[in-house]
Amino acid sequence: MGRKSLKEIRQQEIITVFYDTARKDGYENASIAKVAKVMDINPSLIIHYFKTKDDLTHALIDYILEKYLLIYKTKNKENITLADLQKTIEMLFSKKWNLLFDDGLFYTFYALSFREERIKAKYKTILDSLRSELTSMIEQCNKKELLNVTSPRAAADLIFVLVDGAYFYLSLENDKKAYKEKLDDYKNKAYEILGLPVQSLPDVPLVLQPFVKA
């Protein structure tokens, strides 16, 4: 892959500051003017890349997709092993996965999807892409006779139904012990869907990093 252009670097800087501003002040209070103030630049420089707040929002959602798909980063995507699949499940049901992107903003954008078709389409792309990649991993393990999952697509879909529901519910849980116990229960159910015994892997060094440092 080639090096990023100056334009791409600047756009990513703006998107990251916009995310951090929206996370701290609330999406409704975030603006191009506020982002420019934080970056100590003229708002016209941001408008050069993103004409409106909506444009900036759409760019941020696209970047979310890129971040989430890092969960499937492996040495060889065409030669998936059972260990690769297990690590993916461990990451999906981990605190680090949940911290990858701010819950408040994620659900704010999700709410916007009911009013704006473009955001709705982007969210569906995110969720479909995550399911598609997991389906591919399960299919490869099936072909190698490492798994015997009747419908990889249905299994991947059910696992992400667990993931989506789990983190929505657990975002309301303040008890850390209860949070971990429930997350482990959901993870074990995912292994059950795959026909695998419950794993007790060591803490996997995740490739994922939070969107920005808190």
Q: 4-49, pLDDT tens digit by residue? A: 788 889 999 999 999 999 999 999 999 999 999 999 999 999 999 9
Of 194, 206, 12, nearest to 92 (Cα)? Answer: 206
Domain match, 133 and 38 both: no
- Is residue 26 included in any domain, yes or no? yes
- Is residue 166 included in any domain, yes or no? yes
- Is residue 121 included in any domain, yes or no? yes
Q: 105-132, pLDDT tens digit by residue? A: 888 888 899 999 998 998 898 889 999 9
Greater model confidence, 193 or 103: 193
Backbone angle region of 145, left / alpha / beta, with phi > 0 → left and psi within -120 to 50 → alpha: left
Domain match, 45 and 77 both: no
- Is residue 207 included in any domain, yes or no? no
- Is residue 57 included in any domain, yes or no? no
Residue 102: give the domain boundaries: 64-194
Q: 61-98, pLDDT tens digit by residue? A: 888 877 787 777 766 777 899 999 999 999 899 877 77
For the chain, how many structural domains are there in total? 2
Question: Which CATH number do you get for residue 17?
Answer: 1.10.10
Structure tokens at 150: 């009747």
Domain match, 112 and 15 both: no
Backbone angle region of 111, left / alpha / beta, with phi > 0 → left and psi within -120 to 50 → alpha: alpha
- Is residue 81 included in any domain, yes or no? yes
Domain match, 141 and 181 both: yes
Domain match, 98 and 181 both: yes
Residue 1 has pLDDT above 50, yes or no: no
Q: Within 10 Å of residue 17's Cβ, how many Cβ atoms?
A: 21
Q: 152-180, pLDDT tens digit by residue? A: 999 999 999 999 999 889 888 999 999 99
- Is residue 34 included in any domain, yes or no? yes
Residue 208 has pLDDT above 50, yes or no: no
Residue 140: partners with Cβ closer than 8 Å, 6 or more residues away: 79, 80
Greater model confidence, 102 or 133: 133
Q: What's the pLDDT at 6?
A: 86
- Is residue 147 included in any domain, yes or no? yes
Q: Round to whole Å and give the CA distance between 199 and 52.
A: 47
Q: What's the pLDDT at 199?
A: 64
Residues 35 and 3: beta-carbon distance below 8 Å = no
